Amino acid sequence: MKKTILRLLIALSVLSGVFAGPTSLLSGAYAADESWKSEFEKVCGQTDNAAELSIEELKKSLELCDALKTRIEALDATPRKIYLKRLQMCRNLFQFMLESRQKK
């Protein structure tokens, strides 16, 4: 009877999240490692309206691309190659738009 109650209490505590501490710490560490993705999406999401960005906004986007590059270079090989290529394409577009604006 005591074993059954003990098992029930353990099951309830696991289901209620009492033992969620270590897993939440792991997911927090994972989220910290993945925080660059939201910045990546924000910067590369601006490529749709890059023609409408001001010179200052283009410069800021270029700075963000350069900052993201160092963070992405720390990834494993496959995601690093993919995201660095995508980031470089976004950066090239921002650079092109900046140069074309400065020529005017």
- 3-state secondary structure at position 92: helix
- 3-state secondary structure at position 26: helix
Cα–Cα distances in angstroms (integers) from residue 86 to residues 7, 24, 61, 70, in the given order? 51, 31, 14, 14
CA atoms of 88 and 69, how far apart (whole Å): 9
Q: Which residue has the higher pLDDT, 6 or 39?
A: 39
Tell me the per-residue pLDDT of 27-42, one tens digit each, with 9 for 90 and over: 343 444 678 999 999 9
Tell me the per-residue pLDDT of 47-91, one tens digit each, with 9 for 90 and over: 999 999 999 999 999 999 999 999 999 999 999 999 999 999 999
Q: Which residue has the higher pLDDT, 40 or 22?
A: 40
pLDDT given for residue 19 in this prediction: 41
Whether this model's pTM surpasses 0.85:
no
Q: Is 60 left (phi over 0), alpha (psi -120 to 50) or beta?
A: alpha
Cα 100 to the center of its chain, rounded Å: 29
Residue 64, token pair as written in the block: 């963000």
Q: Which residue has the higher pLDDT, 9 or 56?
A: 56
